[in-house]
Chain A
Amino acid sequence: MADNTNGRNLPEPRFDTFVSKATSRRNFIKGVIFSGAAASGAAYLFTIGGCSRESGSAGGVERLLTLNVNGQMRPVDVAPNETLAMTLRYRLGLTGTKLGCDRGECGACTVLVDGVASYSCSTLTHSVRSRAITTIEGLEGANGELHKVQQAMIDELGPQCGFCTPGQIMSAVALLNENPNPTRDEVRHALSGNLCRCGAYDHYLNAVMRAAGNGERLSQA
């Protein structure tokens, strides 16, 4: 036991990994410049190719899955170490789901898995292959009308910068599907796993209360 822990068998100390990662990131940046597909913001320097480039180690074999996303069956190649957020954004082009922290600490990537609010950055795509996934793109009605939570966000000027809004909306939809008539405290609790750096929390609460048809109770804040 003493010499076989994961920590002790690391091929190189952690600080060396910064060096090697910096190199691969530089190569990646060169790659996107040549392909013309520039991404802005350090948080978006993710690449699906990143997983197969690690081909020196075990695993990494992509498999063809059929994912049920927003009611459509979508065939997609998925690597074993790929998160649902990666698959949605970079394989299926559903960029409404945002990646904030990629650590389950902000909520921007919230989607519904079988109706349950989940951090897609902390879910392996392979583990949800038989589940129904709903993203912000899947909320619109048959004729393209906005979901009542989305409409209420507009009416109540819910978002400020808007980056966390898709995640906030998905958490709110999960709540209203289960509890159509929540109290303000219940909404607060349901949205507590979604950070907003603009601090627009109260506006979000107003919007969700309006969507629930409880607009007249706003004054109870």
Chain B
Amino acid sequence: MSKDMMSAFELYQPDTVEGAVELLGRFGADGWALAGGNDSFDWFKDRVKRPKYVVDLGGIASLKGIRETPDGGVEIGALTTLTEIERSEVIKGRYKVLADAARRVASPQIRNSGTIGGNVNQDARCWYYRYGVDCYRAGGNTCYADTPEGQNREHCLWGADRCVAVSPSDTAPALVALDATMVVLGPGGQREVKAEEFFIGPNIDIERMTVLEDGDVLTAIKLPAEWSGARFYFEKVADRNTWDFPLVNVAAAMKVSGAAGSETVDAIRIVAGAVQCVPRRLTVVEEVVRGQAKTAETASLAGQSAVRGATPLNFNHFKIPLLQNLVTRAIRDA
């Protein structure tokens, strides 16, 4: 399908995050916060979203970079590119699950311009929604994916509520597994939100995927000292190794004690992406595994418990054994 240029907009390139928030607050629903643009430009070129005012955050130096904080954690500016995260010695050394997740996003060129903030704030990939039909998420009153003929191979196993789209991000499950905190600046000032609560499902607001509202800017992501240097696991399964969004991905952070071969899991956070509209924290798995010997048996039990209650659609049953296997491997190999 041949497409035309993006429709016209006014471009603002503020130097400060306060300036960006002020502009976005003024423009409201007519404004658009632009990070790397890899998601935004698709919407604009397809003419599905046509903001009048685009605020390019790319020139704001304070939103970039990876800093170690006095409390022993790490703070990542929201406009830090995925390539920088993938290559950062600090992230690779202390929070490897995030570096591994960043490395599996899209393609090298997209990681060079794509940002961590953009990656966690990207919109749903449901192709009906992307096509511009008037589905629930677009403000209409139909779901085109959850019908007898609807193509829903990529869609959700949990949390369907009119919309069956999933969280498409690779870095989001890693951030939830690391118990990260999102720093948000908005017209009402600054607030901090746990990564786990940052993402919202259709039951809370069907037209947004995060708590960000018009005028809000995600400025930084804080990784707590608690999970620094823990055992990690990240695995993503997609149709192609480049470009494609996850069919299922799993991120885990684990603390173990005891000698190699007879280790006990003391603490664990494990999260799956692309199975629900939000990164799904697998609390049942955590409860099954915590305090247990890190054995093949525990791993197998964890895999089985991960898929309890999964409600597949017509074409995504395969995600159930896929998730089960990924969780089993995460517990076994982390």
Q: In the docked arrangement, what's the CA distance between A196 and B137, Å?
A: 35
Stretch at the interface among A2-10, A138-146, A152-160: A2-10
What 0/1 pattern do residues 56 to 73 of A give for CB contact below 8 A with B? 011111000000000000
Contact (Cβ within 8 A) B7 A54: yes
What 0/1 pattern do residues 96 to 135 of B give for CB contact below 8 A with A? 0000000000111110110000000000000000011110
Q: Among B8, B13, B108, B110, which residue has its beta carbon within 8 angstroms of that of A81?
A: B8
**Is A93 in contact with chain B by the CB < 8 A criterion?**
no
| Band of interface residues on B | 35 or more
Q: In the docked arrangement, what's the CA distance between A111 and B192, Å?
A: 38
Q: How far is the CB of B210 from chain A (nearest CB, A)?
A: 13
Contact (Cβ within 8 A) A127 B56: yes
Question: Chain B: interface secondary structure?
Answer: loop
Contact (Cβ within 8 A) A6 B51: yes
- CB contacts (< 8 Å) of B106 on chain A: these are 193
Q: How far is the CB of A132 from chain B (nearest CB, A)?
A: 15
Contact (Cβ within 8 A) A193 B50: no
Q: How far is the CB of B270 from chain A (nearest CB, A)?
A: 28
- CB-nearest residue of chain A to B129: A7
Q: How far is the CB of B282 from chain A (nearest CB, A)?
A: 30
Q: Which of B28, B41, B52, B131: most chain A CB closer than 10 A? A: B41
Interface, chain A (partner B; CB < 8 A): 1, 4-10, 13-15, 17, 21, 24-25, 42-43, 45-47, 50-52, 54-55, 57-61, 79-83, 86, 102-105, 107, 110, 116-119, 121-124, 126-127, 171, 189-190, 192-193
Interface, chain B (partner A; CB < 8 A): 2-11, 13, 28-30, 32, 34, 37-38, 41-42, 44-45, 47-54, 56, 58-59, 83, 106-110, 112-113, 131-134, 137-139, 205, 207, 213-214, 241-243
Pairs A–B under 8 Å by Cβ, sample size 20: A1-B214, A4-B214, A5-B29, A5-B207, A6-B29, A10-B48, A46-B5, A50-B4, A58-B53, A61-B10, A80-B11, A81-B7, A81-B9, A119-B109, A122-B41, A122-B110, A171-B109, A190-B108, A192-B242, A193-B109
